[in-house]
Each structure stands twice: as structure tokens, then as C-alpha cells.
Structure 1
């Protein structure tokens, strides 16, 4: 098949590799423009662009798509059988959705219709899901509302972080994309509509999503959000009027550990730095106070001489 590929981050790289390995023709790769990154803010090429350059593929990095007449003319000249869209980061306009005979095929990192939106992997973990996966679908004008094509499920362990799921799901997604293209070509995959009543949103993450809010959330919720939002926006609160980051956290499974009177309260006991959530404690293993280096729980307790009743807000 003739496949135009649209993708930007590392998550999309295995999909492009798989499309090429399967023998499909890729006449064009669309990816986002180079962006400044790092301490020196030097321009960095997206991972998909780097792979496309290595493979000698034609690359375009348009800032805009909807009204881009040059891009439209080029795609209409190519007449692709399918357009694969994997974490591209751009809304696909109607004219582009209608162009390929098999449509624009998206690899989405959730079991649709759950977790429609920009951060499905992070929110699935943050909400304590025990299972996630990849869904391939035909894009339409809505937000991840198109007809589903293929679904692959994988478990989420009780301590798994979203950062661990990204490479797993990118590999699973690459296989699913190839199966989907093959099934569309042979007519063995039938699109099926999503059940909108089961839909939930996974909006783009904000800094505030990482706030601990120990007085509002259960210990399980605090820990799940830490797993889902690691490394960004992370887990943080305010301690002694300064930003307090939690780099490593653990569940407290020892039933002999006593709760503290007030949510948000922290104490150092038997070599453990404990923080009280709404229904019980969690354990902070590695922390950092604004302006200071990362440190272990023991280093923090010794260096800051915790007072009884002190809290992380």
C-alpha cells in the first residue's frame, strides 16, 4: 500500500519502522517542526524526522495543515491508500480525512472509547486502571470518536508507571497498525462504532495535575497519580512555603503503620518518611525542596528536623 505517515515523538517511531518493514511505500512523512530543547534551547529534530532522514524519506514539517494549499496539492498528487497518524500533534482537517481510500488510520494509546484525548496513557494509570492497550481507528472530525478497527490489550501492574507503558504500547501499536492495514486491504477488518456512553476524557496534562492534595485524595489515589504523572508533572506540594517535589513514592502495605491525625501531615518514623492522605499514609522515598538537591527520606528528615504536626499542603 501507499501510506503517508504522520507522527512526531518517540512513541511513533516503531510504527514508521513497522510500516517500512512490512514493505509499504511511504512517499511522504509529515512531522512537527524542529523545536528548541535542552538547557541551550538548541533546535531539535523530532524522533520521527530523524528516522525518516536515515531512511531517505521525503519529509515535510508544516506549521499549519488546514489551509495549506501546497500540502493539499502534494497529497492529492500522491493519492495515498491510507494516511497513518500516530501522535502527530496536529488536528487532521476534513479534506485530508477524505483523501485516502482507506481513510486516516490512528494508533491511539487506550482502549476506546475510554480515555479520548491527548494523555490517555497517563490518565489510565492515574485513575488506577488495571488494563490498557491500543486501539486503531479511522479518524473523523471529532476528538478520538472515529470507528474502531483493531484493539490490543495489556495489563497495568499495581506499581507500573506511565513512563514504562509508553515503550510497551508503542511496540504493541506498531504491530496493530500493520495488522490493521493488512485487514483493510483484504477486507477482513470491519470498522465498528464507539459506544459514546462509555467515553471519558484524557485531557492534556497541566502542572496542577501533579499537586498532591493529600487532604482530598485517598492514599491509593495519591500513589496512582504519582505513577501516572511521572516524570511530568510529577507529584508536588508546598512545605514551609516552598515547592516540595516527591521523586519516589511507595504504597504503605504494612497495616501496623499508624495514621496521623491530619491529612497532609508528615513524620519520620522508623527510618520512613510518611505522609498522611485522606484515609491513610503513603511513603515518600526521595524528595526535593525548592532550591535544594534531591535527597533520600533520611537525608531530608535529618536536614530539616521535622516538627510534630508539620504538613505538606
Structure 2
């Protein structure tokens, strides 16, 4: 077996937790964990640690939480750890070149797409929104660009026809841990080949925003179905029915033509809301009235009757 590596792990949110756990369970040594500072959360604005810090603390790993990664103080703190490798998973900040080049094996990143497609902050959501049949995990050697470094390893997986971005997020998070562990073992044994990305094939995956959720019913039903799934659980799709805002979930394409204008509710019953679109129809199985919990349409209709042939604006 190759010599175990000394690793500094950099990550912050839930997505990074299985990757940290995979390294904890490996033969390699985690000499330090870097995550973003604790943030105020909830109505009480109580300071809460990020998920990666919680796991690191449980395993008594040293944790650094710098306000900035561009200070001499932080660079010297990393240097003192003498890492062989830097592993970065959804850390949340762009790292300067001196830090990327500090370990003898550089820095690698776990990215939730098949690069060079979907570089950026929301690769999982955009793959669903765009109706992709598959996605995956890419282990990449980091450079100064945005997700533009050489590819070390790719693991692919199909996207289910009804799978939401949230469900896919959880699957890829766990897949990321297993793929990372495999890649680090191979890297330690000098058994990985660096493959440059074809930058001409690159696409971007910018951050989502709440305005994206206001549906344009003139779009075809299959496009709307992918968009609703891609925005679930956040920021979620929505429309206005009888002047009230409703979040919309669990869409199903119904191959049915109608002369009614897009956005017309053709049926509202226990099966869901059947809505006319620019092509075919969309059956929504779950809905969330403003200020209430997400629920099946049948449950919602008992307290909020919705008239057929009304419009979702």
C-alpha cells in the first residue's frame, strides 16, 4: 500500500459532510479542517457551527475558521500543518493560487457534475432544470479558474424522471464521499491521469434566485416539470391562484391538448391540479399555501377550494 497522505480538508455545508467522513474512515490522516465561520441562524439569531465543523469536532480534528483565506496569517497556519494534499468540497470561497500550490500534491475538488458541463455554484439544480438524463461527480485538480482544472476521476449516475434537485443532492453527496476516497487512494499511489478539460464544451451553473420560481405557463409541460423539480426544495416554483401565492411541487406531464390558455386550471381534485401549458398539461400533486406546510393537493382543497378554469398567475 502507498504511504498515507496528510490532508487538509476544506468544506462547509451538508454536501461536504460525507466527503469528510470518507476521509476520516480512510487510511489517510486529516491534519486540519477549514470551514467558514459560525453563522447566526433561526429566529433567535443564535450562532451555529456549519455541518463540517460539527463532524470535525466530534472526531477531535483541529478546525480553522478564517474570515479571509487571503491573509498571511491563514497561509502560515496551513503551512504549519504540512499537508500533502488539500481537499476542497463546497467550501464557499475562491482560493488564491499560493494556497492551491502549497501542498506537494496541490488541491483537488469534488464537484457535482460531469465537467466541463455545469461549472459554478448550482450544478446539481441546473442539471435537473435542463432535463439532463445523467450527471455525476468529478474529482478535479484545482487551478486558478472556476472549476476549470484537469479532471482526475468521474463517476456517473442517471437522473430519475421524477427526481428533485434535493433528492439528487443527497445522492451525489454520498457518491462524492465514495468517489473522493477512491481518488485519494489512487492519487497517493500515483495511479491517476490528469485529463485537461475541453473548455469549448464548458457550460455554467450560476446561483439560483427566487424569481426563477415564478412559472411561465406558456412553456411546454416537460420544461416546466424539469424546472419545478430543479427548484425543489429551494427556492421552489410558485404561482398565484385567486390572488394567493402557492408553492408547487411533484409535477407530472400529461399528454393532453386543450384550447384553454396556458395557466388555466382544468381540474382541481384528489389527483391534483391539472394545468394547461404551452404544450400538453401539467398535473401538480403537491402544493403549499403561503404560511402553511407542504401538502397533497387533496388535503389543501379541503380548506382552500380552487375553482376549475381559474388561472395560475
TM-score by length of 1: 0.92
Q: What does 1:1-313 align with in structure 2 at a 5 Å threshold?
A: 1-66=5-70, 68-215=71-218, 217-246=219-248, 248-253=249-254, 255=255, 257-268=256-267, 271=270, 272-291=272-291, 294=294, 296-298=296-298, 300-301=300-301, 303-306=304-307, 308=309, 310-313=310-313
Q: Give CA-to-partner distance per residue, 1:36-93, whole Å, 9 cap, x none.
A: 2223332211111011101111101111111x21111111222211100001111111
- Distance in 1, matches of 2:48 and 2:266, equals 44
- Give the conservation status (yes or no) of the 8 Å contact 2:142–2:150: yes
Superposed displacement of residue 299, structure 1? 5.2
1:227-259 CA distance string (max 9 Å, x none): 11111011112333432211x333134x4x442
Q: 2: distance between equivalents of 1:11 and 1:295?
A: 26
Say which is worse superposed, 229-238 or 262-271, in terms of deviation.
262-271
Please say which of residues 163-172 and 142-151 is displaced more in the overlay. 163-172
Aligned residues of 1:213 and 1:237 also touching (Cα < 8 A): no
Matched residues in 2 for 1:263 and 1:238: separation? 14
How far, CA to CA, are the matches of 2:197 and 2:274 in structure 1? 43
**Structure 1 residue runs without a partner (length 5+):** none
Find the aligned partners of 2:184 and 2:104 in 1 and give their Cα distance. 12
SS of residue paired to 1:26 = strand
Distance 1:189 1:287, change over 3 A: same
SS across alignment from 2:253: coil
Equivalent pair of 1:273/1:298 in contact (CA under 8 Å):
no
Query: 1:268 deviation in Å?
Result: 2.0
Q: What secondary structure does 2:110 align onto?
A: strand
- Alpha-carbon distance between aligned partners in 2 of 1:211 and 1:270, rounded to the nearest angstrom: 23
Runs of 4+ off more than 3 Å: 269-272, 288-296, 298-305
Q: Report SS of the residue matched to 1:141.
A: coil
- Aligned equivalents of 2:131, 2:294: Cα separation in 1: 27
Aligned positions, number:
307
Local SS of the residue matching 1:252: strand
Computed over aligned residues only, the root mean square deviation of the Cα atoms, in angstroms, reads 1.9
Comparing 12-21 with 84-93, which one deviates more in the overlay?
A: 12-21
Q: Aligned partners of 1:268 and 1:304: how far apart in 2?
A: 12
TM-score of the aligned structures, taking structure 2 as reference length: 0.92
SS of structure 2 residue aligned to 1:157: coil
